[in-house]
Structure 1
């Protein structure tokens, strides 16, 4: 081993042996380094695991008094006691407006006064021939805004015929007065009609004067109900 044998000079063989030994030493050194590195890594992993295990106790849940604040530290809002002094009386300007009570419903049985009704005569066509017997109609209308009741007895209803000078020519109650007892309840704007036929001759309240047919000309018809007298309505005899 220490004395090389061969045809080459001895220096050549020594150099080869030195090269082989160097390579072997490198291989051995590299293997030792790998083993050391692996050991260091394992040791480092063990240290990390140990450190993690040691840290766990420090992550324990904090004590209850550290999470929930002390009740003494919480400020409870104070409740202001109501003042015992009476509130000042409101001035008249601040008082609410008074509410008017609704008007009472009208009594349908209240009487119709003269101001609450109108009395008119509707002549048949506005004219008639001398000697004819036309029918006139007495119309009583409630001109108020409430219902009311009016006595309409036949003895209170009358139609008169007046000449152009305003003299009385005929009256429906002169010779043949009618008697009845009746009344009408009229709603606002409602009218009651009472037809009456004229005999075509003159008359007067005592019905003692001769009765004749009035001549042709211009006349007027006027209606009455008790104390209420209506306006004159033109009428012509031909």
Structure 2
């Protein structure tokens, strides 16, 4: 007689059947767990597609320079009509403390309706400082390293000096370029700056005070 079909022991056969059922269910649970670990249902066979971090950035062009170049350049186009060019004298401050040196610049604006070219290099620039009826300083008195710089002026646009000129608060004279020059009066003295480019002069002066 088969002991599997007819369990033999001091206990009733129903007890042995319950034990076998519990043991069988435990083995089945272990098998299911192992299968789930191996198969991993729901997992993808391949690696997930990476999220793109790149963006299509539109190409941009460099902004047009708004400074007068310091080296010789060549611009295409017709020469500017002097009547369509506005020159403005510029200082970095209106009042300078004792010992503080003014920074002088020039701004050029094309007031015409079309682009034109102009030589705005240092060879064409003139800065003049006056007080009352007296001229105290000119940038051309002791100027060196003059350069031409032909630039294209767009209509309605303004360009400015790339590097300001520093005035040392002295009187200028071609005969004193290599000598100790006299300091100009200060202590609240008022001065006026006039600029010119290629003979086109600023219609207004820029006033400033030296303390």
TM-score (norm 2): 0.56
Larger-Rg structure: 1
Deviations 1:179-200 (A, max 9, x none): 1121110111111111222122
1:53-132 superposed matches below 5 A: 109-132=77-100
Offset of residue 178 of structure 1 = 3.3
Matches of 1:206 and 1:187 in 2, distance apart? 40
Matches of 1:154 and 1:178 in 2, distance apart? 8
**Residue in 1 that maps onto 2:7:** none
Given that 2:93 and 2:102 are in contact with CA atoms closer than 8 Å, whether structure 1 keeps it comes out as no
Q: Residue 211 of structure 1 is aligned with which of 175, 178, 181?
A: 181
Deviations 1:177-230 (A, max 9, x none): 331121110111111111222122110244468621111211100001111111
3-state SS, counterpart of residue 144 of structure 2 = coil
**Residue in 1 that maps onto 2:209:** 236
**Residue in 1 that maps onto 2:199:** 227
Offset of residue 133 of structure 1 = 1.8
| Structure 1 residues 130 and 202: alpha-carbon distance in aligned structure 2, compared to 1, 3 A threshold | farther
Matches of 1:196 and 1:140 in 2, distance apart? 16
Given that 2:124 and 2:148 are in contact with CA atoms closer than 8 Å, whether structure 1 keeps it comes out as no
Given that 1:155 and 1:177 are in contact with CA atoms closer than 8 Å, whether structure 2 keeps it comes out as no
Q: Number of matched residues? A: 130
Matches of 1:130 and 1:170 in 2, distance apart? 18
Query: Unmatched 5+ residue regions in structure 2?
Result: 1-75
Given that 2:127 and 2:196 are in contact with CA atoms closer than 8 Å, whether structure 1 keeps it comes out as yes
Offset of residue 130 of structure 1 = 4.3
Deviations 1:109-129 (A, max 9, x none): 010121111111111111213
3-state SS, counterpart of residue 105 of structure 2 = strand
| Structure 1 residues 176 and 130: alpha-carbon distance in aligned structure 2, compared to 1, 3 A threshold | farther
3-state SS, counterpart of residue 110 of structure 1 = coil
Structure with more of its chain in helix, by fraction: 1
| Structure 1 residues 206 and 228: alpha-carbon distance in aligned structure 2, compared to 1, 3 A threshold | farther
Runs of 4+ residues deviating >4 angstroms: none
Matches of 1:207 and 1:113 in 2, distance apart? 37
Deviations 1:131-168 (A, max 9, x none): 32221111111111111000112111121110123x21
Deviations 1:20-66 (A, max 9, x none): xxxxxxxxxxxxxxxxxxxxxxxxxxxxxxxxxxxxxxxxxxxxxxx
Q: Residue 153 of structure 2 is aligned with which of 173, 179, 186?
A: 186
